[in-house]
A and B are shown apart, each in its own frame.
Chain A
């Protein structure tokens, strides 16, 4: 029981975005491990049990608590385990998640949309820029060095179209031999993992793995840090390296065109990318190579992780509100590299760009110059 290792020092409290948003101790990681440590004293109280189970799902799973913890407490692992336990103990309390689970089980995406739409939703929109895009969609027998795993948000959300376009244009410009999984892409299973349902995610992982391996891909690239976690840590893909798109472009572009702009961009580093997957260097390296004038934002959460947008949308929104105010983001364009973080910023009325959009613009500027 690794929550027993928590010495309740409280160092995690002030870093917790939930505490900052809600201003009471029960939202802090220390409070949750404490509750587990005294659970024997309160478990008879049904209402408290219910409140605790709800509290477990009111967390953005940003992992900052674990990062600052000196007592080696695997806090993220604890939250995962406890979420699974909570769902098992009181399934009725989590019926609101069933629609999502059913959608993933039935149509393999989080939106409950026709799986065929994965391949077509964005295609019409980018055909002018990438005329051969249809040929890039995976079908059995097709092979390529790079497999693009778009993820549900990038596949279905209109708000992500500019990023999708910039991604494919950049892949074309770098002469990459790539395929995109299209309708053969199943949800990576991250939402199920976040609700403690790894069993449910297994079928999805097995399918994705077989497609990627059949295509003989040496690299899988994704723009979504949540998908990155799943593909890297849980898909057990053989003979292919899973990369975030910023890693891929940083690797293939030693000397990208310079991005010409006077704007200073605040850079939001997605928690699931830098903290959970340990990808810190490459997004910054790529921006530096491009000559982007950027400044680091606080390494805190946007409020969009951990399924929080679904389990407590008000709280998710409040976290962003607090950040917006604290970091004075009203009139800024925030650079980031995560579709989920982008959704959060956009919902708060903050302009945002993915790094790959900057890359695309740099290419455009160079072409115009020529």
Chain B
């Protein structure tokens, strides 16, 4: 065992205590050919493959679980291959971040409109694997909505190109089979690296918006009022360009904010219409920027005493769980407290959009949650808390966002991936699809 094998386990999820002896090698390819060599290396030794981008995701998929495996990092597959402003796309390798892509697009007056809060470190390959998005998914969609095609290498070395319409491959039989299953980009999105290695993405780009926006904040007496306001914005198809709600925040990090609140940016001429929905107080740009800054740092900040963690991020509040948000939040907090966690912060994108396992879109608020970790807690207790949260979400009608939860408690998506893997084969992140995932989880908490 070498340090390079150990540190590849570093990731932002709570699943980070790996059995390092199972990591047989780590690869940092710079080219597609080098990636192919790494895949061949694994295949010849019957090792599983886990692909890792920035390691900023919270699902733990980039850990590879407990399988004997190699890890391929995409961090140096970070080249821009082609920019076609007229065609409205950019071809990139998977290890680039949205920030770097947008830096390169600036001279062209174009932008890639996917902006998760981890956009400085999350790679586009990883974001597609989790179907991530940011505070503007409501207007700009998630990663899948902004991806036009991907090239992938399968475990057996065959290559496929997946678009919104279907699959192409030099192996006609393979393409035919996958097209019979109607495989599209929707399947690659949120597949958590279980299908193959993405070597190239064609991403949709659009002109930099010159539309001027104004910003402001609305405060609420409780979370239910906030949830109902979000619901009304969704109903009204409000042209919100940036929307972030803070439901609750610990005094150590909330500065002078008074949650529940929502910070919004929208076209100036929409202000009167928006006032019909909520009581928005317009703010100067610098104050809006300050609020955005406080929000973007919330996931990373710690209380003065103790340490925060994300047990279960991405509570997808929609329908009744959104309309009764205070009851939803109270129930979650009650559960957390019963497990000795202190609620630290609840915040997230709103209005927002995400996809369910059957590829239908859900609209509401993606609420992130951070808790202060109790001292002297066992792995068993941590895992039990997570599983209790999963059950509670089921009862409350909260749909965990695939980007953040352990991915395949969504049985629709799980079955679909199993179906596709019967054609493309396994080899990549197999652990995510096995029934013993709870045991694997427990070992890594």
A residues sitting closer than 8 Å to B (CB atoms) are 4-5, 7-11, 13-14, 23-26, 28, 30-31, 34-35, 37-38, 41-42, 45, 47-48, 51-52, 55, 69-72
In the complex, are the beta carbons of B121 and A23 less than 8 A apart? Answer: no
Given A9-B12, A25-B73, A38-B17, decide whether A55 and B3 contact each other with a Cβ distance below 8 A.
yes
19 contacts between A and B (CB under 8 A): A7-B308, A7-B309, A9-B12, A9-B121, A10-B11, A11-B300, A13-B121, A14-B120, A23-B75, A25-B7, A25-B8, A26-B7, A31-B3, A31-B10, A34-B10, A41-B17, A47-B2, A48-B3, A70-B297
Asked if residues A52 and B3 are in contact (CB atoms below 8 Å), the reply is yes
In-complex Cβ contact of A35 among B6, B26, B297 (8 A): B6
* Residues from chain B with Cβ under 8 Å of A47 in the complex: 1-2
**Is there contact, CB below 8 Å, between A7 and B17?**
no
Assess the A10–B3 pair: CB atoms within 8 A. Answer: no
Bound together, the chains give a CA A48 to CA B20 distance in angstroms of: 12
Q: Which of B4, B20, B56 contacts A41 (CB 8 A)?
A: B20
CB under 8 Å from chain A, chain B span 1-48: 1-4, 6-12, 16-17, 20, 26, 28
Contacts of B302 in A (CB 8 A): 5, 71-72
Q: Tell me whether A42 and B7 are in contact in the complex, defined as CB-CB below 8 angstroms, given that A23-B28, A72-B302 are known contacts.
A: no
CB distance from B43 to the nearest CB of A (A): 23
B residues less than 8 Å from A45 (CB atoms): 1
Residue among A24, A25, A38 making CB contact with B16, cutoff 8 Å = A38
Chain B residues contacting A72 (CB-CB under 8 Å) are 301-302
Interface string of B232-244 (1 = CB under 8 A from A): 0000000000000
A13 nearest in chain B by CB position: B121
Which residues of chain B (60-81) have a CB below 8 Å from chain A? 73, 75-76
Closest chain-A Cβ to B432's Cβ sits at a distance in Å of 20
Q: Which residue of A lies closest to B10 (CB)?
A: A34
Could you say which residues of chain B place their CB within 8 Å of the CB of A51?
A: 2-3
- Knowing that A8-B12, A23-B75, A30-B55 touch, tell me 11 more A-B residue pairs with CB under 8 angstroms: A7-B300, A9-B121, A10-B11, A13-B121, A14-B97, A28-B10, A34-B10, A35-B3, A42-B1, A42-B20, A71-B302
CA distance A71 to B7 in the complex (A): 20
In the assembled complex, B387 has its CB within 8 A of some CB on chain A: no
Count of B residues near A, CB < 8 Å? 34
Residue contact B17 to A9, C-beta cutoff 8 Å: no
Question: Is B12 in contact with A7, judged by CB distance below 8 angstroms?
Answer: yes
Task: Note all chain A residues with C-beta closer than 8 A to B54.
Answer: 10, 13
Q: Per-residue CB proximity of B272-306 to A under 8 Å, as 1/0?
A: 00000000000000000000000001011110000
Question: Which residues in B have their C-beta under 8 angstroms from that of A9?
Answer: 12, 56, 118, 121, 299-300
Q: How far is the CB of A2 from chain B (nearest CB, A)?
A: 9
Q: In angstroms, how far is the closest chain A Cβ from the Cβ of B218?
A: 26
Please name the residue on chain B nearest to A73 by beta carbon.
Answer: B302
Residues of B within 8 A of A37 (CB): 16
- Chain A neighbourhood of B2, CB < 8 A: 47-48, 51
Set of chain B residues within 8 Å of A13, measured between Cβ atoms: 54, 75, 121
Instruction: Give the docked Cα–Cα distance between A26 and B26 (Å).
Output: 11
Q: Are B300 and A48 in contact (CB under 8 A)?
A: no
Q: Name the CB-closest residue of B to A1.
A: B307
Distance in Å: Cβ of B9 to nearest Cβ of chain A: 7
- Which of B56, B73, B300 is in CB contact (< 8 Å) with A70? B300
- Chain B, range 299-329, C-beta contacts under 8 Å to A: 299-302, 307-309
B76→A23 contact, CB < 8 A: yes
A24 touches B299 (CB 8 A): no
B301 / chain A contacts, CB cutoff of 8 Å = 70-72
Chain B residues contacting A35 (CB-CB under 8 Å) are 3, 6-7
Specify which of A4, A5, A7, A48 is in contact with B299 (CB 8 Å cutoff): A7
Task: Tell which of B17, B75, B120 touches A25, judged by Cβ atoms closer than 8 Å.
Answer: B75
Bound CA–CA A30/B12 (angstroms):
10
CB distance from A86 to the nearest CB of B (A): 14
